[in-house]
Chains A and B, each alone.
Chain A
Amino acid sequence: MQPLLSAHDLHVSYGAVKAVRGVNFEIRQGEIVAFLGANGAGKSSIMNAITGLVPTSSGQVTFEGRDITGAAPETLAPSGLTLSPEGRRVFGTLSVADNLRMGAFALNDKAALETAYKRVYDLFPILQERKDQYAGTLSGGQQQMLAVGRALMSNPRVLLLDEPSLGLAPLIVDQIFDLILKLRDQGVTLLVVEQNVAKTLQVADRAYVLVNGAVVEQGKPAELTASGTMQDAYLGAN
């Protein structure tokens, strides 16, 4: 089966800093795939390069058989690929509802828009309660829900989640992982970056382990925990 999203020999640099060095991956329809690795391993750089937030130095990203390397970021969400970026980055000076409205920017059909709102409010009832509040006044956990909800508004087929549980209370972390499973059941293919390795390996179908911008191992969670590479990946870079 043709992968839904894939990268071939992907490189990302920031000036002299080589953050991603020749990464390959393939994500198939319906999978939950995780990127694991220590801080600075290049996980966010990969996600940002896929979605055009940072430029790709070389290599190729393919989505549904189309080359999207260097595509304008604004073309991706309407085509079914979006990212909930690291650090939430909600629009703090916009209301919760307006943040969600922006998530579905390309959507003009009133009924489709209502459906999108309803889906997010069903997942996160607190957002409906707070819909007229400025996003900047929400708690960290609520902002994270908003960031994920905003990404869902475009009804993505592939959703990239960059550290969705960063800095959240344990109870809310569990909710985020429940959500990942729930979204998969709704037919969303997920690429997840998480610091919470144990929980991530419980939900992921496959994972890629990154060290210094390169994939050192990939496989099913059981295979990865059995080999010692994972521990090395986290310890090695620290």
Chain B
Amino acid sequence: MDIFLQQTVNALALGGTYALLALGLAVVFSIMGLINFAHGELMTIAGYVLMYCGIAGVSFVVAVPLALMASVIAAVLMERIAFRPVRNGSGATMLVTSFAVAMILQVLFQNLISTRSQPVLLPAMLSDSVHIAGMVIGVNKLAAIVATIVMLVFLDWFMKHQKTGIAMRAAAEDFAVARLMGIRANTVIAGAFALSGLLAGVAAVLWVSQRASVDPLMGFMPVLKAFIAAILGGLGSLRGAVAGGFLLGFIEIYLSAFLPPEMQEFREPIGLGIVVLVLLFRPNGLIPSATLKAEKV
């Protein structure tokens, strides 16, 4: 039982990170129909900011906001430079553009920083653990869970009660009519990217906190997972992205904890198999997007 609870905490921490990343993808997708595979590079940028701050002796409480700021600015620039020119292109055009952006950034990281993984100096406190109800829980895991909750509450408030957030939901439902109301296309799209950058930045801090290192390809795997989570939850649906992220986190952690050792090799394919199975029963995902489904019919 203890080990089960312990793994549940791990699953919440990992699932929360996936949820934040999937949300970042979903916010942009719901408005533009773009799956931004360069989302991972936003994470990497935030990771490098943490690394340089560590080297420069900047304290972690300052480094984190700097890292978040960097990924928000990078996301907004990405939209302005790379995606705005292809905004009216097809989904495929935008998708290929996002791959190009991701690869260009990866090459830049490799050439300007290092091809190898670099250590990131973290506060010692993060590697401590606390005893709660007979469990030993890493401070970094606990921090990840708390940060995820804070972000989800913030996002919910923003999308429900802030004018820009409401406008983003309106634009996700009917972009043309949203513009007719006077909602500026550039504002909601730039807003969506800024939000996705913030989510990628928070996810990066959580990701790096578990690993204490950063490398040029760091963002690739988590964003691939987030993409799977977004589909699992229902592409374009924000609630779906959260549900999918957590479910994927649970699947991965439980498999790695409870699958017999001789089957551990097949952990990833088994995990994906479960995802496919869920999608067989719920083809539009766990919580499908109300508006996208209507469009497809």
Contacts and interface: CB of A to CB of B under 8 A. Distances in A.
Contact of A72 (B166, B181, B185): B185
A150 B181 contact: yes
B145 to A, nearest CB: 29
A127 to B, nearest CB: 16
Interface stretch (A9-17, A76-84, A206-214): A76-84
A102 B174 contact: no
Which range contains the number of B residues in contact with the other chain?
10 to 19
Contacts of A98: 166, 170
29 contacts: A53-B180, A72-B179, A74-B184, A75-B182, A77-B180, A77-B182, A78-B182, A85-B177, A85-B180, A89-B174, A89-B177, A91-B169, A91-B173, A91-B174, A91-B177, A92-B173, A92-B290, A93-B169, A93-B290, A94-B166, A94-B170, A102-B167, A102-B170, A103-B181, A105-B181, A105-B182, A105-B183, A136-B290, A154-B181
Contacts of A74: 179-185
A184 interface: no
Interface in A94-111: 94, 98-99, 101-106
B36 to A, nearest CB: 22
A51 interface: yes
B231 to A, nearest CB: 20
B178 interface: yes
Interface string B218-236: 0000000000000000000
A75 to B, nearest CB: 8
B180 A82 contact: yes
A73 interface: yes
B234 to A, nearest CB: 13
Max chain A C-beta neighbours (<10 A), residue from B174, B176, B177, B179: B177
B291 interface: yes
Interface residues on A, range: 20 to 34
Q: Which of A75, A105, A150 has most B Cβ within 10 Å?
A: A105
A106 B182 contact: yes
B181 A93 contact: no
Contact of A73 (B169, B179, B290): B179
Given A92-B290, A105-B167, A73 B173 contact: no
Contacts of A76: 180, 182
A91 B163 CA distance: 14
Interface in B273-295: 290-291
A162 B182 CA distance: 18
Given A74-B185, A92-B173, A83 B291 contact: no
Contacts of B291: 92-93
The 7 closest A-B pairs by CB, nearest first: A77-B182, A73-B179, A105-B182, A106-B182, A74-B179, A91-B170, A89-B177
B174 A94 contact: no
B173 A102 contact: no
A79 to B, nearest CB: 9
Contact of B176 (A73, A136, A154): A73
Contacts of B177: 53, 85, 89, 91
Contacts of B183: 74, 102, 105
A102 B181 contact: yes
Contacts of A73: 176, 179-180
A217 to B, nearest CB: 30
B46 to A, nearest CB: 31
Interface in A46-67: 51-53
Contacts of B167: 102, 105
Given A53-B176, A93-B291, A136-B290, A77 B170 contact: no
Contacts of A77: 180-182
A101 B164 CA distance: 11
Interface in A21-55: 51-53
Nearest to B290: A93
Contacts of A154: 181-182
B13 to A, nearest CB: 31
Given A51-B180, A73-B179, A82-B180, A102 B166 contact: yes
B185 to A, nearest CB: 7
Given A91-B178, A102-B166, A102-B167, 10 more contacts: A52-B180, A72-B184, A74-B182, A75-B182, A76-B182, A77-B181, A91-B173, A92-B291, A93-B173, A99-B170
